[in-house]
Structure 1
Amino acid sequence: MAKEGADMTEETQYMIDRNAGKEGVIVESPSNAKEMRAVVLAGFGGLNKLRVTKKAMPEPQNGEVKIRVKACGLNFLDLMVRQGNIDNPPKTPLVPGFECCGIVESVGENTHGFEIGDRVMAFMNYNAWAEVVCTPVDFVYKMPDEMMFAEAAAFSLNFVAAYMMLFEVAKLREGMSVLVHSAGGAVGQAVAQLCSTVPNITVFGIASCFKHASIKDSVTHLFDRNTDYIQEIKKISPDGVDIVLDCLCGENTGKSLSLLKPLGTYILYGASNMVTGETRSFFSFAKSWWQVEKVNPIKLYEENKVIAGFSLLNLLFKQGGYNLVKSVMNKLLSLYEQKKIRPLVDSLWALEEVKEAMQRIHDRGNIGKLILDVEKSPTPLMANDSTETSEAGEEEEEPEGDNDSKERMPFIH
C-alpha cells in the first residue's frame, strides 16, 4: 500500500508537469455561455447526494473577482459538510468547496489589484467546486509564475492553517518539538515542511503504517496511529512535546494533553474521528465527544498548559481576519518562491469523480492533497457509475451502499 501511495504521487506529479506549458493559455468562453458545470450537494447524507449539474453562471458584484476555475481543493471538512456534521450547516442544495484557483475572467466595480488574465487562487465560503466562481477581492491572491494550478489548489487552505497554528498561535521557535496527527495528510505535510524552515525542530508524526514509506523523510520520528505512540514518544522525549496539532479529537485529545510540556500548546483544528460511516452517525458523534477528556481549568493552571482551537474558515468569513491571512499568505508565497515549501498533491480527479475522491479521503488513503481538476475528463467507468451530469439538476437516487461494491479505478491515466 505504501508503494501504491508513492507511485500515485509520482504519477500525479507527471500529470502536473505535463500540463505546465498549457497553463498560460486563456480559453475564451463563448459570449452566449450563461451556464456552467458545478458539483451540487442535494441534501446531507451519503455520496449519492452529490451530482454534477448545470447552473447559472455568476457575475461579479461590487468588489468581486470572477474566476474561470482550473482546479479546486478537496478537504476532510468537505466530508463533514456533506454529512451535515458541522455546526449550523447551510441549507441545501449547495455547491461545496472552500478553495480554488484559476484565471481572472472579469472584475466587478470598485475592484482593484487584479486584471483579466491574472492567475489566482482564492478562498471561498462554499461554491468553489464549479467552472466559474465570484468572490470578494479580499480572499483572492495572485499565484507565483512558476506555480501550477494543481499546486495552487493544494496550497492556500493547508499551508495558511499550518503556518498560523505553528507561528501565530503556538509561537514556534528554534529547538521546539511538534506532534502532528495525520502526518500524511495535506495539513500534516505542510506542518512538516514549515517546521523544516526553523532550526532544530523535532517533528513527531502519527500516520497509518501504509503511508510511512512515503512520508518518513518529512518528519523526525514517525509512529503508527494504532500503536501506543504516547509511550514511544516519551521514550524519546521524557518531558513530552511543546506543540500538539490535533485534527482527530475524541480519545486523542486526552492522550495529546498528557504529552504537553509545561508552557506547551495543544491546538484542535478538526474532528475527523466523528466521521466513521458514509452518513452522519449520532452514535459516532456521541462516542467521540464522550472520549474527550473534560478539561479542568485548575489543572491547566497547575500544569502550565495551553489549549487552543483554530478554524481558518471561521477566521476568514466570520471573524474578519482576512488582513492577517493576507500577511501570512505573503510570507508563504515568499517561502514557496525560495523553494523552501511545496504542496504535495496526492491525485487529480474530474468533477464527475468527486464521489471516488471523497471516498479516498474517507478511507484515509491519501498522501497529500486531492484535487478536483475542472478540465480533466473522467474515466469511462467513473463517468457511468458515479456523478452523472443532470441538465435539470435533479438528484438520481442510488442504493446507499452501492459504491462500496464497485471497483475503484486508477486515479490518473
Structure 2
Amino acid sequence: MKAVVCRAFGPLTDLKLEDIASPAVEPGKVLVDVRACGLNFYDGLAVEGKYQTKPPFPFSPGGEVAGIVAAVGEGVTNVSVGQRVLAFTGFGGYAEQVAADATRVVPIPDSMDYAVAAGFLIAYATSWHALKDRAAIRPGETLLVLGAAGGVGLAAVEQGKALGARVIAAASTDEKLALCREHGADETINYSTGDLREQVKALTGGKGADVVYDPVGGKIGETAVKCLSLLGRYLVIGFASGDIPQLAFNQLLLKQIAVIGVLWGGWAKANPALDAANLAELLELHAKGQIRPHISETYPLDEYLTALNRVMQGQAKGKVVLLTGTAS
C-alpha cells in the first residue's frame, strides 16, 4: 500500500510517499481501507518532533480516517467487513490502509460521505467534550471562540449554538468571519484589525464572556483571559499560534477564573463509555442538521505536503481532507 512516511523528526518536506506493507490485523484491531483522512495541526507538530506524543519510527501522520472495514481481528464484534466507518487512529492515517483499535471505530450512516466523516471526529469530539463536559456551558451564557474558522473553532461555534449559548466568533479575516456567521455565530470580531478586549466588552455590555474556547494561544490567548466575566472559564485547546500564553494570574484571582485543560484523546481513552455516548449525541445532531462540518479543501494523497502546509500555516477554513479513493 501507499503511505506518507516519517522516518526521523524534521521539516515537513522530509516526508515521503512510499510503498510499504499493509498493517497486520491483530486481536482487537480493525483494518480500514482508507477513503479519506482529516488533517489536524498536531500532524505537523508530530512530524517535527514538537508534539507531546512521539510515536516510534517509522510512522505516518494522520489521526482520523473514514473508509471501509477490510478485516477484523480476533474478538472484534462492534463492526464487520464491508461496513462504512470512521476511526480515531492517533497516527497512521495518511495511508491507503490503517489498523485501529476496535473501540475507536464507529459505523457511519449512508448519509455521511467519507470526506465529512474524516473531518468530523477530532474537531467535534474535542469541542463537545470541552463545552459540555469541561466547561458545562449553560443556555444563555456567552461563548467566545478564538480561531473560530478553523476545524475545532467552527465546530465550537456550531456546538455552542446547539447548547443554547450566545456565540461570539473571533478570527483574523473578514472572509473567515463570514463563514462563522454561516455556521451560526451571533457576533463576530476581527482581532487583526481591532482590540479584542474592547470589542468583547462592547458586545457583552461590559460583563465579558462566560467561556473562552482557545485553540490559538499566544498573545490572543493572553488577551482573551482578560475578556472573561466573573467566574469565567478559559478552555485550553491548543496553541496554533506556536506560542503558549503567559497568563495574567492576577486576572485569575480577581475574577475567580477557572483555566481548564482539554485533551479529548486522553480523556476518551480513559472514559470509553462516556466518549461513545458523546459521539452518539454528535451523530444525532449531524443527522438533524444542527452541526455540519465544513470541508473547505480536499487533496489526493500524493499532494499531502500542500494540504498539510495549508493547515500548519493557518490558511484553512474548516477542515482539510486527504482522499485516497472515492469519497462518497
Q: What TM-score does the superposition give when structure 1 sets the normalisation length?
A: 0.75
Matching residue of 1:164: 129
Q: Deviations over 1:272-313 (max 9, x none)?
A: 121xxxxxxxxxxxxx34x512536xx635522111111112
Matched, 1:232 2:199: yes
Q: Which of 313, 330, 338 pairs up with 2:265?
A: 313
Matching residue of 1:292: 246
Question: Is the CA contact (8 Å cut-off) linking 1:66 and 1:106 kept in structure 2?
Answer: yes
Matching residue of 1:182: 147
Matched, 1:87 2:52: yes
Matching residue of 1:50: 15
Q: Deviations over 1:73-92 (max 9, x none)?
A: 10111121122112252343
Alpha-carbon distance between aligned partners in 2 of 1:64 and 1:91, rounded to the nearest angstrom: 19
Matching residue of 1:397: none
Q: Which of 215, 220, 223 pairs up with 2:186?
A: 220
Equivalent pairs, count: 323
Alpha-carbon distance between aligned partners in 1 of 2:96 and 2:325, rounded to the nearest angstrom: 9
Q: Within 5 Å, which residues of 2 pair with 1:14-163? A: 36-163=1-128
Matched, 1:207 2:157: no
Matching residue of 2:316: 366
Matched, 1:263 2:226: no
- State the 1:53 CA deviation: 0.6
Question: Is the CA contact (8 Å cut-off) linking 1:162 and 1:190 kept in structure 2?
Answer: yes
Alpha-carbon distance between aligned partners in 2 of 1:214 and 1:339, rounded to the nearest angstrom: 17
Alpha-carbon distance between aligned partners in 2 of 1:374 and 1:358, rounded to the nearest angstrom: 15
Alpha-carbon distance between aligned partners in 1 of 2:286 and 2:49, rounded to the nearest angstrom: 35
Alpha-carbon distance between aligned partners in 2 of 1:103 and 1:88, rounded to the nearest angstrom: 27
Alpha-carbon distance between aligned partners in 2 of 1:83 and 1:59, rounded to the nearest angstrom: 27
**Greater displacement, 36-45 / 327-336:** 36-45
Question: Is the CA contact (8 Å cut-off) linking 1:40 and 1:50 kept in structure 2?
Answer: yes
Shift in alpha-carbon separation, 1:362–1:113, aligned structure 2, 3 A:
closer
Question: Is the CA contact (8 Å cut-off) linking 1:184 and 1:215 kept in structure 2?
Answer: yes
- State the 1:363 CA deviation: 2.7
Q: Deviations over 1:324-347 (max 9, x none)?
A: 211100111111112221111011
Give 2:271's aligned amino acid: G
- State the 1:193 CA deviation: 1.3
Alpha-carbon distance between aligned partners in 2 of 1:121 and 1:173, rounded to the nearest angstrom: 30
Instruction: Report which of the two structures shows the higher radius of gyration computed on alpha carbons.
Output: 1
Alpha-carbon distance between aligned partners in 2 of 1:48 and 1:252, rounded to the nearest angstrom: 29
- State the 1:250 CA deviation: 2.0
- State the 1:128 CA deviation: 1.5
- Structure with the greater relative contact order (CA < 8 A, sep ≥ 6): 1 or 2? 1
Matching residue of 1:196: 161
Partner of 1:196, secondary structure, is: helix
Partner of 2:226, secondary structure, is: helix
- Any gaps of 5 or more consecutive residues in structure 2? none
Q: Deviations over 1:33-86 (max 9, x none)?
A: xxx111112322222111111111113211111111110010111121122112
Question: Is the CA contact (8 Å cut-off) linking 1:262 and 1:304 kept in structure 2?
Answer: yes
Question: Is the CA contact (8 Å cut-off) linking 1:97 and 1:128 kept in structure 2?
Answer: yes
Q: Deviations over 1:140-176 (max 9, x none)?
A: 1110121000010011111111111111111122101
Q: Which runs of 4+ in 1 moved over 3 A?
A: 299-302
Q: What TM-score does the superposition give when structure 2 sets the normalisation length?
A: 0.93
- Any gaps of 5 or more consecutive residues in structure 1? 1-35, 275-287, 377-413
Cα RMSD (Å)? 1.8
Alpha-carbon distance between aligned partners in 2 of 1:355 and 1:154, rounded to the nearest angstrom: 18
Give 1:315's aligned amino acid: W
Alpha-carbon distance between aligned partners in 1 of 2:308 and 2:65, rounded to the nearest angstrom: 17
**Greater displacement, 336-345 / 148-157:** 336-345
Question: Is the CA contact (8 Å cut-off) linking 2:39 and 2:319 kept in structure 1?
Answer: yes
Question: Is the CA contact (8 Å cut-off) linking 1:251 and 1:293 kept in structure 2?
Answer: no
**Greater displacement, 365-374 / 302-311:** 302-311
Matching residue of 1:408: none
Alpha-carbon distance between aligned partners in 2 of 1:295 and 1:43, rounded to the nearest angstrom: 39
Question: Is the CA contact (8 Å cut-off) linking 1:60 and 1:135 kept in structure 2?
Answer: no
- State the 1:188 CA deviation: 1.3
Q: Deviations over 1:188-238 (max 9, x none)?
A: 111111122233x22111112132333333311111131311111101211
